[in-house]
């Protein structure tokens, strides 16, 4: 995994974790890397100071982060319904009372997620792909 300092076209700074440099490039090219502050998909790597980790740092913190992400993934998958690309429609239906409220997760296009937020419907991105989507 690699962490990049990122900056959007609006000047917001944030960071992101990626499998490798090619992974960042591929996701950014198709607009899947978005600003955590404003949702802009015009994101570039910001200048970073290189950091060399000791041998102990290379295994322990990474392992702990991976365990934490896996625990979060397990919690989400066991306690919510996967609705796939119907996420935006289902979230809106629950908000409007047309569907029973429950915990859900799935995929949404950036514009769909932005519209939900603008309409006061709370949504948040997950820091991983669900197993249903990843397979």
List the domain boundaries for the chain. Answer: 1-51, 55-135
- Give the per-residue pLDDT at 19: 87
Query: What is the tens place of the pLDDT at every residue in 79-123?
Result: 999 999 999 999 999 999 999 999 999 999 999 999 999 999 999
- What is the signed CA dihedral for 80, 84, 88, 93, rounded to 10 degrees? -60
Span 15-28, average pLDDT: 90
Span 16-45, average pLDDT: 91
pTM, rounded to two decimals: 0.54
Q: Which of 16, 10, 14 is nearest to 28 (CA)?
A: 16
Task: Render 7-65 in DSSP notation, one character per residue.
Answer: EETT--EEEEEESSHHHHHHHHHTT----TTT--S-EEEPP----PPPHHHHHHHHHHH
- β-bridge partners, 18: 2
Q: What are the CA-CA distances from residue 20 to residues 2, 3, 13, 27 (Å)?
A: 6, 9, 20, 11
Q: Tokens 């119907």, residue?
A: 86
């Amino acid at each position: 995994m690699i962490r990049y300092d990122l900056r959007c076209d609006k000047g917001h700074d944030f960071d992101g974790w990626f499998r490798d440099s090619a992974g960042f490039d591929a996701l950014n090219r198709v607009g899947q890397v978005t600003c955590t502050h404003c949702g802009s998909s015009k994101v570039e790597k910001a200048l970073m100071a290189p950091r060399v980790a000791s041998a102990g740092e290379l295994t322990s913190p990474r392992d702990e982060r991976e365990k934490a992400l896996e625990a979060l993934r397990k919690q989400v998958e066991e306690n919510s319904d996967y609705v796939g690309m119907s996420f935006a429609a289902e979230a809106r239906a629950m908000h409007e009372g047309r569907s029973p409220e429950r915990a859900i997760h799935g995929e949404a296009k950036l514009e769909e997620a932005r519209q939900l937020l603008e309409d006061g419907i709370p949504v948040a991105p997950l820091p991983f792909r669900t197993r249903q989507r990843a397979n």
